[in-house]
Structures are given as C-alpha cells and as structure tokens.
Amino acid sequence: MAKFVFVTGGVCSGLGKGITASSIALLLKAKGYKVFMQKFDPYMNVDPGTMSPIQHGEVFVTADGCETDLDLGHYERFIDEELNYTSNITNGKIYSSVIEKERRGDFLGATIQIVPHISNEIKNKIYEAAKTSEADIVITEIGGTVGDIESSVMMEALRQFRLEQGRENTLFVHTTLVPYLFGSNELKTKPTQNSVIELRRLGIQPDIIVTRAPLDLGNAIRAKIALFGSIPEKNIIEAKDVNNIYEIPINFHRQQIEDIILNQFGLKITKSNLTFWEDLLDKVNHLDQEIEIALVGKYVELEDAYLSVKEALKHAGYQFLTKVKINWVDSEKLEGSRVSLDEVFQHSSGILVPGGFGSRGIEGKILACQYAREHKIPYLGICLGMQIAVIEFARHVCGISDASSTEFDEACKSPVIDLMADQKSVVNKGGTLRLGNYPCQIKKGTLAYQDYQQDLILERHRHRYEFNNQYMEILKANGMVFSGINPDSGLVEIIELPKHPHFIACQFHPEFKSRPTKAHPLFVSFIESAIQYAKTENGKKTN
Ligand code: GLN
C-alpha cells in the first residue's frame, strides 16, 4: 500500500507550492522510492483545456492525452516520470462524475450530498492514482489557498483520508509566507500562524511547514512558528527566495525534508542519489554566453502561457552553457507597417512560433516566419507554428496567394491547413482536440533524423487542424521536405526546408517532453544553430 503526502498552501497564491511538491517528489525518488504526483484544482471546469492561456497559463498535455494544469509540467520536469489521467483532478471532474453516477442510478434511494458522495469521489481519485501508478509514495498538491470556499470539500476529503489511513501513511506539508516588513525591519509570523489555524479549523494539523521568506528565519522566528504550528522545529523547512527553481530540491535536501517524511512513514532512509541534479545546478550556475530567441505569440503578456516552451529553451541552452534570453514578441504588433521587423529581431538569433488558437495575431506570425525564412535565421515552429510555416511557404514560395487555414478563414479557397476529417462532426469543444501521444515516422537524411537519430518517435499533440495532404506535391516541388509522417494516418508531423540553414516545424509539442537534465533534440539543435547564427555576419550577437 502506498504512502501519501499532501501539499497545501496558505496566506496567498504563488508561493511555489507546485515546486515544493515537485522537489519533495524528486528527493523521495532520489532515495530510491517510486513516486507519483497529482494536482487537485478547485475550479469547476472539467479541465483547463477550454480556458484562456492569459487567465490560466499553459495547458500541459500528458502522454495519455489529458489537458492539465501547468504544474504538471513542473512535476514531469522534476521527477522525469510520465503522469496520466489520474494526475489532475478538478471540482468540475468530481462533480460531473458524481452527477453522472446519480443519473445512471448508481445511488438509487440515496440523497446525494457533498459529504459523503463528493468527498468519497475525491478520496477515490487519490486511491486510483496510487493503484494505477503502483507508486510507493503519492504526492498530491491542492490548488488554491486554505480557507477558499472552492477547495473546502477537497480539504474535507483529505481530513477523512488521514482518518482512514492514519498518521503513519499520510503526511501534510503546508506552505506559507513569512513576509519581511520594511520599517519595523523584521520577518512576521502572524500570516503563517493564521493559516495554520485555518487549516486546523478544517480538521488538519500540518506535519511540516514550508516557509517562503526573503531571508533566513533565524532561531527566534523558527521557535515561534514551531510553537504556534505545533510541530518540532526541525519540521520547519525554509524556502528562501532563489534565482533558479532548480536550487530548491537541494535546499530542501540540506534541511533533510525527505528524512522527516520517511521517518513518519516508517520507511528506510537510504542514501540519496542526487549527483544528476547537482551536475545540472553546476551547469546552470556556469552559463558563460547568452543568445536571444524571439518567441512570437499572442499571449506574451503572460509568460506562463508558454511555460514549457520557455523551460525547453533553457534546458537546450544548458547543453551549451548558454543562457537563452527570450525576446517576447506580440505577433499582433507586427501587423501593419508601423514596426520594423529588422528592429524587432535585431538581436535575435532564432525565431520560434509556438502553439496557439484562433485568428487574432496570425498575420503577424506569418510575417515573423517569412522574416526567418528569407533572412536565414533559425526557425522552430510548434503546432500552430508549423501551420504558419506551411501557409507562409504556400503563399510566398508556391504562389498560392490565398493559402490559409480554415481555422482563420472558413471559406478560404486554398485551405493548406484544414480541419481533420474526424473533427468535422465534433460538437463539444472540451477534450475533443487530437490529444496526447501519436507516433511519427522520420525520414532518413533529414534534419529531423539528424536530431532524433531514430526512425519512429512518439510525441504529444493538442490540435484540431492539420496539414492538408492535397497540397503536399506542390509544396514538395517547391522545396519543402515532409520529414515526419504519422505511419497510421499519413498525417504530416514534421516539415523542413533543407535550403535554409535551420528551418523546421512540427505539428506536435516537443516542449512537453523536455527535461532540465534531458533537453529535447529539436530544441537542442535549434539552440545550436542559433549559437552558430550569432557567430555569422548576419548574426547580430549582443554579447
Ligand atoms: N489552432 C491550431 C489547431 O487547432 C493549432 C493548435 C496548437 O498550436 N496547439 O490545429
């Protein structure tokens, strides 16, 4: 039977609960335990798939095709394990499944109530994660802040869970803020005290308190938090602000958080294997050059909308001890003649067009792609970024001037990108995109093959539109190479332009599979080419 760690948050959001949960999981894995992770989100959407990236940030896609919270991206990057449908549970998911069971007659005769029906459903999701993953330890993060109305039933389920499983099988980690007040020049413990009181009001006593603070706590503050929080002083783990999130597991390890957890569970405390992470930190702290990559999107006011892309660029940079600076370009602003593309891209050594939906900002992305192609600047297109590259090439190289996607122009005469056949009858928007892992056959002798060194790959998808194979011959005749094809459906997965030093685009999302210790091959070669480009005469290297 598995053991369970629950991570809650107090005082305010944005304290790094997701990173705390991921760091704990990484440290337990480094002790040789099999770990699995789960996030509870208290909103009523069934999943974040239909939410605006500007509200919610990126939608992370799991291998089995679930649209999930971006924290799952942190989890996978830290623990390097594939998560699945049991990993992201929302109130929407819980309520709709209980109501479905009620309609089916599963509870005939009973009055359906928040407790026990909703709380049981929540507990079942925790047990299900443990069962399907066969993990030794399941780490569950509860979104939101303790005291929120939305998460109260989730907290109630956790209270019951501890009652069922006992203290030897469950452990509560509460993350809080210890703010520094200028003027009185001291750290304040009251917000932490109050949030622990709030947690206790829900029937939960934390076992570990993780304190986010700008400074070391010092003995007096630690003693005070321990006393009011009713925990031993050693169970207070300091999460001092850091420059790089990858430092956090090592900080926690120094405070032996994993030993506290294993002790409570009565599990053996083995030696930690953290060399791989220390090596990563060593690289991260010794980056000796910088390059700039332009990321052309329409949600750029919220960097979190492109979180995995941002991380994947960083990971690839680490391989070359290079810091990747992102030039955030709002594609809509490129439209019209008000801005000079030369100016926008003057310091950029690569142009990346990531995923996106809807017609706003499309023409600006096409301009950016054209600029990359014509100026021989390395280009990486992801999902929408591949569709853009196809449209741009069809229009400006093949002379199909009205080429477009039926997503932006339903009546378009030359739909080089079109709705997939099986999408035409789809009515509901939620959960109906082409999602998750699909295979892709790679053609030998191409850039894609050089990157992957493999014939068959699996990558994660999230899209409704597709390259229209009726245009394949004419694009081929003009020099586009279709280097990746789905072997089952014949759908185009990767395109490239061999006459260009580095122009490649894919229908899938490689960023979801990048890890800090294992950068993704498409990002690695893109960054390598950008570094090369920066050295050429055209490359306007800044450093
Ligand atoms: N909007 C495009 C589609 O649905 C691309 C999606 C994406 O970039 N994730 O096919």
**DSSP string for residues in 327-368:** EEEEHHHHSSSSS-HHHHTTT-SEEEE----SSTTHHHHHHH
Q: Which atom of ligand 1 is found nearest the CA of 357?
A: 1
Catalytic residue check, 509:
yes
How far from the centroid of its chain's Cα atoms is residue 108's Cα? 41
Q: Which of left, alpha, beta for 391 (phi over 0: left; psi -120 to 50: alpha)?
A: alpha
The whole-number pLDDT of residue 423 equals 74
Catalytic residue, candidates 66, 383, 440, 506: 383
Res 542: pLDDT: 46
> What is the reported pTM?
0.94
Q: Which atom of ligand 1 is nearest to the CA of 466?
A: 10
393 lines ligand 1 (CB under 6 A): no
Q: What is the pLDDT of residue 438?
A: 97
Note if 58 is an active site residue.
no
Q: Which of 295, 387, 405 to mutate to test the pocket of ligand 1 (most atoms within 8 A of CB)?
A: 387
Cα gap 102→104, rounded to integer Å: 5
Ligand 1 geometric centre to CA of 434 (Å): 9
The token pair that represents 320 in the structure block: 């070359």
Region of 263 on the Ramachandran plot (φ > 0 left; ψ -120 to 50 alpha; else beta): alpha
- Assess whether the C-beta atom of 418 lies below 6 angstroms from ligand 1: no
Measured in Å, residue 373 CA sits from the centre of ligand 1 at: 21
Tokens of residue 293, six digits? 């990559």
Yes or no: say if 98 and 117 are a contact pair by the CB < 8 Å rule.
yes
Question: Is 521 touching ligand 1 by the criterion CB < 6 Å?
Answer: no
Tokens linked to 44: 């009523």
**H-only helix segments in 425-516:** 447-452, 472-477
Task: Estimate the share of the chain in helix, then strand, then coil, as percent rounded to the nearest 5.
Answer: 40, 20, 35
For residues 189 and 31, the answer to whether their CB atoms sit within 8 Å is no
Q: Peptide bond before 206: cis, by omega within 30 degrees of 0?
A: no
Q: How far apart are CA 508 and CA 434, in angstroms?
A: 10
Residue 458's beta-bridge partner residues? 439
Please indicate whether residue 318, judged by its CB atom, sits closer than 6 Å to ligand 1.
Answer: no
The answer, yes or no, to whether any atom of ligand 1 lies below 6 A from the CB of 313, is no
Closest Cα to atom 8 of ligand 1: 355
- Pull the structure tokens for residue 480: 């586009």
C-alpha 223/C-alpha 228 separation (Å) is 9
Close Cβ partners of 374 (under 8 Å, ≥ 6 residues apart): none
How far is it, in rounded angstroms, from Cα 316 to Cα 418? 32
CA of 389 to the centre of ligand 1 (A): 13
Q: Identify the three-state secondary structure at position 452.
A: helix
Query: Is any atom of ligand 1 closer than 6 Å to the C-beta of 384?
Result: yes
Q: Which numbered atom of ligand 1 lies nearest the CA of 358?
A: 1
Q: Which of 518, 506, 529 is nearest to 384 (CA)?
A: 506
In angstroms, rounded to a whole number, what is the distance separating the alpha carbons of residues 185 and 300? 36
Q: What is the whole-number distance in angstroms between the Cα of residue 3 and the centre of ligand 1?
A: 39
Cα–Cα distances (Å) from 428 to 432, 433, 478, in that order, read: 7, 10, 38
Separation of alpha carbons 386 and 383, rounded Å: 5
Which protein residue has the closest C-alpha to ligand 1 atom 6?
463
For ligand 1, what atom is nearest to the CA of residue 407?
1
**Would you say the CB of residue 357 lies under 6 angstroms from ligand 1?**
yes
* CB neighbours of residue 133 within 10 Å: 21
**CA–CA distances in Å: residue 128 to residues 56, 120, 123, 206, 404:** 26, 12, 9, 24, 45
- Is the torsion defined by CA of 16, 22, 26, 32 positive or negative? positive
Q: What is the pLDDT tens value at each position of the chain, 543 positions in all? A: 899 999 999 888 888 899 999 999 999 999 999 999 999 999 999 988 888 888 889 999 999 999 999 999 999 999 999 999 999 999 999 999 999 999 999 998 899 999 999 999 999 999 999 999 999 999 999 999 999 999 999 999 999 999 999 999 999 999 999 999 999 889 999 999 999 999 999 999 999 999 999 999 999 999 999 999 999 999 999 999 998 889 999 999 999 999 999 999 999 999 999 999 999 999 999 999 999 999 999 988 888 999 999 999 999 999 999 999 999 999 999 998 778 999 999 999 999 999 999 889 999 999 999 999 999 999 999 999 999 999 999 999 999 999 999 999 999 999 999 987 777 777 778 878 889 999 999 999 999 999 999 999 999 999 999 999 999 999 999 999 999 999 999 999 999 999 999 999 999 999 999 999 999 999 999 999 999 999 987 775 444
Ligand 1 neighbour 407 (Cβ under 6 A): yes
Structure confidence at residue 258 (pLDDT): 97
172, amino acid identity: F
Nearest alpha carbon, ligand 1 atom 9:
355
Task: Determine the distance separating the centroid of ligand 1 and the alpha carbon of 463, expressed in angstroms.
Answer: 4
How many whole angstroms from 447 Cα to the centroid of ligand 1? Answer: 23
State which amino acid sits at residue 525: S
User: Ligand 1 mean position to 358 CA, how many Å?
Assistant: 8
Name residue, tokens 């907290």.
Answer: 155
Q: Which residue has the tokens 């999701």?
A: 125
Sign of the CA dihedral with 55 first, then 119, 141, and 49 last: negative
Q: What does the pLDDT read at residue 541?
A: 46
Does residue 383's CB lie within 6 angstroms of at least one atom of ligand 1? yes
For ligand 1, atom 7: residue with the closest CA: 355
**Number of neighbouring beta carbons within 10 Å of residue 186:** 14
What is residue 267's three-state secondary structure? coil
Q: Quote the radius of gyration of the chain (alpha carbons, Å).
A: 25
Q: Measure 365 CA to ligand 1 centroid, in angstroms.
A: 14
pLDDT of residue 543: 42
Is 506 designated active site? Answer: no
